[in-house]
């Protein structure tokens, strides 16, 4: 449309001052002009030939609008078109920048509504017209489609489409979020989507447009929102590339997958606690447990039930992710827990098989059995004091040396008689073999009385050497 202030490109043939005078004179004279019959002046005739089903807001005075139009005379001859220029009209309504007839004709319009406006001369370019383009006393016909409307007083509009019944935490400034989104202009034109992968970023740290920062606050994992962002909280007067025009309102449909903060610890909830729990798991204990592992949107990435046997691990031995190791601490046999593990205590930014980078993990864990662990560095311990004549008892054939067979037979007998125990969770044969290698100092395949030493004695000797 032709602004009464800054001219459109089709009017650049006239000097700016001359154009402004022409428009002002035309409008001024038109307002005092009677209809041919001497009756009241005609108003704009509005034909609403397409009205969208949903109309969340209507154009009001002072709103900023973006629209396309075709302008013709009564005989159908076209005098101007925004389509021909491939450029939307982007302007404020009701402040004198448009001819009066267009200002009035746009009032109350909805986005995607189509109207035909018949503008009488006194609400257009009056008895003077516009030299070389609009003849005097011309009635103007406009076909208009509204594509965007916003106001400088607007804020981010948030509509919750789905909120899960359980919300373990809500998004705050400084949190890291993973979400899916579809982005459209206000008229429904799509400009971007997260497609197959999530969009991963920090909130409130300048990585997002301001409106999206605001729209994500307070969301729960699994929540769906519609977020409408005015352009001054989006890409403003410049737009973005070829996909987001200048001064465009943006609409995002967002599904939050998960949220965490780099300061988060493991969240633990006991689902079932058997009665009479006396001994709880601690560092060094050997555990057998079942688990289901899923992402926060419910996607299952692993389950021990699929393997037909419990998972085995020694607590504190760096055999499982740190968050799971932490969550298993203090469990009783038969207890069930739910663990929420932030990515920095799980698989981090790299992820793992079935686990995206920076993903929060949800585990449901059931402890099947627990065995007391051994002190750090020990492969075997006696429940009471070791035999007083250890080498003699170990040297079964009394030849002054202990080969691997005698060593293995002796250790197995100690275990079967309940006098000692091996490190749980490992192949006993391998553990006994490692023990033998530790005692066979010169690696000649046999242990002598001078080589055989208890680890406690070795540790004491090391302390004396350091002193």
Closest to 3 in 3D by CA, of 16, 185, 379: 16
Catalytic residue among 63, 64, 91, 99: 99
3-state secondary structure of 1: coil
Please report how many Cα atoms fall inside a 13 Å half-sphere around the Cα of residue 351, on the Cβ side.
10
In contact, 99 and 7? CB cutoff 8 Å: no
- Structure tokens, 250: 């943006």
Catalytic residue among 67, 125, 179, 407: 125
Q: Is 142 a catalytic residue?
A: yes
Closest to 106 in 3D by CA, of 46, 151, 155: 46
Strands 190-193 and 78-81: unpaired
DSSP letter for 83, please.
H
Q: Is 363 a catalytic residue?
A: no
- Structure tokens, 295: 């992402």
Q: Is 99 a catalytic residue?
A: yes
Burial grade of 253 (CB within 10 A; 0-12, 13-18, 19 or more): middle
3-state secondary structure of 112: coil
- Structure tokens, 356: 């995206």
* Cα first-last separation, the chain: 93
Q: Is 391 a catalytic residue?
A: no
3-state secondary structure of 208: coil
Residue 28: CB atoms within 10 Å: 11
Catalytic residue among 43, 46, 73, 79: 79
Provide the Cα torsion 25, 31, 32, 33; round to 10°.
100
Catalytic residue among 80, 103, 148, 175: 80
Catalytic residue among 69, 301, 380, 407: 69
Write out the catalytic residue numbers: 69, 79-80, 99, 125, 142
């Amino acid at each position: 449309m032709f602004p009464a202030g800054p001219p459109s490109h089709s009017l650049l043939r006239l000097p700016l001052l001359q154009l402004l005078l022409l428009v002002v004179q035309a409008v001024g004279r038109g307002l005092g002009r009677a209809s041919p019959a001497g009756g009241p002046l005609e108003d704009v005739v509005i034909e609403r030939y397409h009205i969208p089903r949903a109309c969340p807001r209507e154009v009001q005075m002072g709103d900023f609008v973006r629209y396309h139009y075709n302008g013709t005379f009564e005989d159908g001859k076209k005098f101007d078109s925004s389509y021909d220029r491939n450029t939307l009209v982007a302007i404020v309504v009701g402040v004198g920048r448009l001819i009066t007839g267009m200002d009035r004709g746009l009032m109350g319009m909805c986005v995607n509504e189509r109207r035909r406006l018949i503008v009488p001369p006194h609400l257009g370019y009056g008895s003077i017209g516009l030299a070389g383009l609009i003849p005097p006393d011309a009635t103007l016909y406009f076909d208009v489609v509204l594509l965007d409307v916003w106001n400088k007083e607007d804020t981010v509009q948030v509509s919750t489409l789905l909120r899960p019944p359980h919300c373990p935490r809500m998004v705050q400034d400084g949190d890291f979020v993973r979400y899916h989104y579809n982005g459209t202009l206000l008229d429904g034109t799509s400009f971007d989507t997260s497609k197959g992968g999530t969009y991963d970023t920090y909130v409130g740290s300048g990585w997002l447009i301001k409106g999206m920062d605001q729209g994500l606050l307070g969301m729960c994992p699994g929540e769906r929102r519609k977020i409408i962002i005015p352009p001054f909280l989006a890409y403003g007067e410049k737009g973005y590339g070829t996909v987001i025009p200048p001064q465009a309102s943006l609409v995002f449909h967002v599904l939050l997958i998960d949220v965490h903060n780099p300061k988060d610890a493991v969240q633990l909830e006991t689902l079932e606690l058997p009665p009479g729990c006396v001994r709880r798991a601690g560092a060094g204990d050997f555990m057998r447990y079942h688990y289901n592992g899923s992402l926060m949107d419910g996607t299952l990435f692993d389950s021990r039930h699929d393997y037909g046997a419990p998972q085995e691990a020694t607590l504190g031995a760096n055999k499982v992710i740190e968050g799971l190791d932490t969550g298993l601490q203090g469990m009783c046999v038969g207890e069930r827990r739910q663990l929420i593990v932030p990515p920095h205590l799980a698989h981090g930014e790299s992820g793992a098989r079935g686990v995206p980078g920076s993903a929060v993990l949800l585990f449901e864990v059931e402890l099947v059995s627990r065995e007391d662990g051994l002190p750090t560095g020990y492969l075997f311990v006696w429940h009471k004091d070791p035999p007083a004549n250890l080498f003699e008892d170990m040297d079964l054939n009394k030849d002054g040396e202990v080969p691997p067979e005698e060593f293995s037979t002796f250790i197995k007998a100690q275990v079967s008689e309940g006098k000692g125990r091996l490190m749980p969770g490992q192949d006993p044969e391998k553990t006994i073999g490692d023990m033998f290698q530790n005692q066979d100092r010169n690696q000649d395949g046999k242990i002598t009385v001078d080589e055989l030493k208890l680890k406690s004695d070795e540790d004491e000797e090391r302390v004396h050497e350091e002193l």
